[in-house]
Each structure stands twice: as structure tokens, then as C-alpha cells.
Amino acid sequence: MPRGDHLHRDEIPPGTLYLLILKTLARSGEMHGYEIANSIQRISDDVLQVEEGSLYPALQRMLIKGWVTAKWGTTAGNRRARYYQLTAAGRKQLAVEMSQFERVIGAITRVIEAV
């Protein structure tokens, strides 16, 4: 099956989707799903490729956890869209995920450099 333009892009490392969404929202305030997907791709210079639909189950889970809240607003193109915003709990979670991520990356880096 042809993968087309997916071929040169990297899948998001498992478990980091929450981190990416949290970070994106922290940087830009309010966003709807499409904007979040685009933002992740743009900032990563199109390297990180989200299976875009998987944002939505993740966002639902984050709503349950209380990391984000959602409210309906209007897009620039005058369409109804659900805008997500970070909560205080979300900010706290971002810090947790960040430090966890850095710990893992640090460990991997040390392993690689030791070779």
C-alpha cells in the first residue's frame, strides 16, 4: 500500500501525544483540534506526524482528567469549533510530563554517548 508523503515523516513516539498537546496549548492558549494538529506539525518542521484523528480520543481523556477544558467558539472562517484550553491541573501535568520526558531522553542520550 502506497504511503505517499508519510514515508519521510516520523511517527510520534508512544506516550508523548499528551505532552505534545499540553505543550502546544501552553504555548498558544486556545486552539481547536485542527489547529493543534497543524501546530504540532509546523513547529516540528513537519517531522512529527500525528495520525490526526487520534488527537480526539486523547483530548476526550484529557477532558476527563481535567487537564483541559473545552468551549465552543467561532473560527476565522466563521465555522463553529471546539476550542481547548489548558487548566491549572493541565499546567501541572505538563511539568510532570516534561520532567519525565527529559529524564528518559537524558537516560537515552547517556546510553548512546557511552558507546
Partner 1 sequence: MNWLREVARRLRMLVHRRQFDADLEEEMQLHLELRQQEHFESGMTADSARAAARRRFGNVTALREKSHMAWGWEWFENLVQDVRYGLRMLRKSPGFTAVAVLTLTLGIGANTAIFGVINGVLLRPLPYKDPSRLVVVWNDYGDSGQSLPAVSPSDYNDYIQRSQLIEEWGATGGGGRGAQTLVTQSSSGEEVPEKIDARFVSASLLSMLGVNLMLGRNFTAAEDVVNGPNVAMLSYKFWQQHFAADPNIIGKSFRLNDKDVTIVGVLPRDFLLLVPAEVFNFTKDVDIWRPQQLDYASFPRNLALLLAFGRLKNRVTLAQAQSEMDRIAAQLRAENEVHKSSGMRIRLVPLREDIVKGVRLSLVVLMGAVGFVLLIACGNVANLLLARASTRQKEIAIRTALGAGRRRIVRQVLTEAILLSLLGGAFGVLLAYWGTDLLLALRPADLPRVQDIHIDGSVLLFCLGACLFTGVIFGMAQALPAIRWNMDCLKEGTKGTGGGGRHPTRKILVIAEVAMSMILLLGAGLLIRSFYLLERVRPGFDPTNVLTFQVSAPISRYPTPESAARFEQAVEDGIAALPGVVAVGGVVRPPLTGSGPQTPYAYNPETEQKWESISADWRPATPGYFQAMGIRLAAGRFFTRADDREHPRVVIVDDTLAQQAWPNQDPIGKRLQVTYRRDFTSPPVLDKVYAQVVGVVIHPRIHDLSRAVRPQIYNAAAQSAIPTLTYTVKTAGNIPGLEKEIDDVVHGLDRGIPVHDVRPMDDFVSDVMAPRRFSLIMVLIFGAIALTLASIGLYGVIAYSVTQRTHEMGIRMALGAGPKEIWGLVVGEGLALAVPGIIIGLVGGLAVTRLMSGLLFGVSATDVPTFAGGAVVVALVAMIACYVPARRASKLHPMTALRHE
Q: Is 48 in the site for partner 1 (CB under 8 A)?
A: no
Per-residue buried b or exposed e for 7-39, using 16+ beta carbons within 10 Å of the residue's own CB: eeeeebeeeebbbbbbbbbeeeeebbbebbbeb
Q: Is residue 11 a contact residue for partner 1 (CB under 8 A)?
A: no
Tell me how far, at minimum, the Cβ of 111 lies from partner 1, in Å: 33
Identified binder of partner 1 from the candidate list 28, 29, 42, 54, rule CB under 8 A: 54
DSSP 55-82: HHHHHHHHHHHTSEEEEEEE-TTS-EEE
Query: Which of 15, 13, 36, 34 has the alpha carbon at shortest distance from 86?
Result: 36
Closest approach of Cβ 18 to partner 1, in Å?
A: 13
Choice between 23 and 33, CB closer to partner 1: 33
27, 42, 79, 103: which one binds partner 1 (CB under 8 A): 79
Report, in Å, the least distance between residue 52 CB and partner 1. Answer: 5
Contacts of 98 (CB under 8 A, 6+ apart): 19, 23
| Binding footprint of partner 1 on the chain (CB under 8 A) | 4, 32-34, 37, 51-54, 56-57, 59-61, 63-66, 72, 75, 79-82, 89
